């Protein structure tokens, strides 16, 4: 192991150990001078049966991955605060020796930021932090992934008018010292404004500007998200976005996204519900020209929307810039406070088939979530994907099965 790697891991360990060993003691010893100290901890262990996303025999893997986090929050009179959170992410058995290999490749400073209350309802947060905007369609923390997502950012937020009004703005540096051929974002500037008119009508405007220094790209995505909940059991969400901009070599961007979903819940017994949804991301009919029409979901939490099997978590890459249409339905029940069951069907296709098949396939997900005890949950998921020719290109097309189970303790 190189000296820089050793130094980085040693530094992370030096932070993690005091947090783990002293958090409870610090909380108990907090002085009565306005200082509040709160420890936090989390362990998530997940088993996966994965068949390779290739629709052929073989290539099956059975893995267990886990995330362990420890955090410490310190605040003074709710005016000044700091939060530090260290996490270790690993696959069971990844270290080559139970005694001689202790590199901890997944040990990381997941969050480390300071908070400053500018005035009542207005706050500034600076440092490494999770950020999730609205429904996470464009900016999300991707909590399902063991490592999750953090931004190195400065964030201003405002909550006012009895919490009916919310405004937020952040700048993040996502890549420093990017090479000349780097096409991803190096800087992100984003914000949203939301106002709760009534529980049944809560509109929000969102704008995200992602900049790639090496390619001189400036791309802006703006949209409207409206959500609502009614007393008679109906909840809905509609949203639409346009994405435009330019980059070097006469590249231009013009893409769009639209989505809608509605859920109706019956207020009796197991509270059964039916949800219908439709998501459409524009595609590119000719990716070789300089006009980009495939919508990029940027920093979204796509696992939340496009199925448990994660075939389409990177849009537009995972559909070869052809866009995505996801039509589906879900039915679910709640068996008391301990158990939730839901079955979801997705029908995937592309809006730009380019002369081939537009069918990507059909996915069925069945999920149960058990709340075993306070702070402790267990989930179990079975999913099957039957591919279409638009995904296989006429190649192997065996149905693919997927199973995962998660045990999570969060404090």
Domain 130-410 has CATH 2.60.15.10: no
Burial class, 348, CB count within 10 angstroms (exposed 0-12 / middle 13-18 / buried 19+): buried
Whether 364 and 383 have beta carbons less than 8 Å apart is answered as yes
- The pLDDT profile of the chain, 411 residues, written as one tens digit per residue, is 454 444 445 555 555 555 554 544 555 455 557 899 999 999 999 999 999 999 998 889 999 999 999 999 999 988 999 999 999 999 999 888 888 777 778 899 999 999 999 999 999 999 999 999 999 999 999 999 999 999 999 999 999 999 999 999 999 999 998 888 888 889 999 999 999 999 999 999 999 999 998 989 999 999 999 999 999 999 999 999 999 999 999 999 999 999 999 999 999 989 999 999 999 999 999 998 999 999 999 999 999 999 999 999 999 999 999 999 999 999 999 998 899 999 999 999 999 999 889 999 999 999 999 999 999 999 999 999 999 999 998 898 999 999 999 999 999
**Domain extents in the chain:** 130-410
Q: What are phi and psi of 227, to 5 degrees?
A: -125, 160
CA–CA separation, 180 vs 167, rounded Å?
Answer: 35
Partners of 189 in the beta sheet?
A: 171, 209
Does this model's pTM top 0.85? My answer is yes
Cβ contact 144:87 at 8 Å: no
């Amino acid at each position: 192991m190189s000296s820089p790697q050793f130094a980085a891991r040693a530094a992370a360990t030096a932070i993690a150990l005091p947090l783990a060993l002293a958090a409870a003691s610090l909380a108990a010893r907090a002085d009565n001078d306005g200082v509040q100290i709160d420890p936090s901890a989390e362990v998530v262990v997940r088993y996966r049966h994965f068949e390779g996303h290739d629709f052929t025999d073989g290539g099956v893997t059975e893995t267990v991955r886990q995330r362990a986090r420890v955090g410490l929050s310190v605040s003074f009179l709710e005016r000044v605060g700091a939060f530090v959170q260290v996490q270790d992410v690993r696959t069971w058995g990844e270290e080559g020796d139970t005694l001689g290999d202790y590199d901890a490749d997944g040990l990381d400073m997941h969050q480390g930021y300071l908070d400053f209350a500018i005035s009542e309802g207005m706050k500034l947060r600076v440092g490494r932090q999770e950020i999730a905007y609205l429904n996470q369609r464009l900016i999300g923390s991707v909590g399902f992934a063991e490592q999750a997502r953090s931004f190195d950012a400065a964030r201003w937020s405002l909550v006012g008018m009895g919490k009916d009004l919310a405004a937020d703005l952040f700048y993040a540096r996502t890549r420093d010292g990017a090479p000349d051929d780097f096409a991803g974002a190096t800087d992100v500037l984003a914000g949203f404004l939301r106002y709760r008119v009534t529980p049944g009508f809560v509109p929000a405007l969102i704008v995200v500007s992602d900049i790639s220094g090496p390619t001189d790209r400036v791309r802006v995505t703006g949209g409207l998200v409206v959500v609502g909940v009614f007393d008679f059991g109906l909840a809905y969400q509609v949203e639409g976005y346009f994405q435009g901009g330019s980059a070097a070599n006469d590249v231009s961007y013009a893409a769009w996204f639209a989505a809608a979903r509605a859920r109706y819940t019956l207020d009796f017994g197991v509270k059964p519900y039916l949800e219908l949804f439709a998501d459409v991301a524009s595609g590119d009919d000719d990716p070789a020209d300089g006009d980009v029409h495939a919508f990029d979901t940027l920093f979204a939490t796509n696992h939340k929307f496009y199925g448990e099997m994660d075939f389409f978590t990177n849009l537009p890459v995972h559909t070869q810039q052809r866009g995505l249409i996801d039509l589906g339905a879900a039915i679910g029940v709640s068996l008391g406070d301990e158990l939730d069951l839901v079955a979801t069907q997705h029908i995937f296709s592309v809006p730009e088939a380019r002369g081939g098949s537009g069918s990507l396939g059909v996915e069925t997900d069945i999920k149960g979530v058990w709340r075993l005890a306070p702070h402790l949950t267990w989930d179990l998921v079975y999913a099957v994907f039957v591919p279409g020719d638009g995904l296989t290109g006429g190649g192997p097309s065996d149905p693919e099965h997927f199973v995962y189970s998660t045990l999570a303790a969060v404090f």
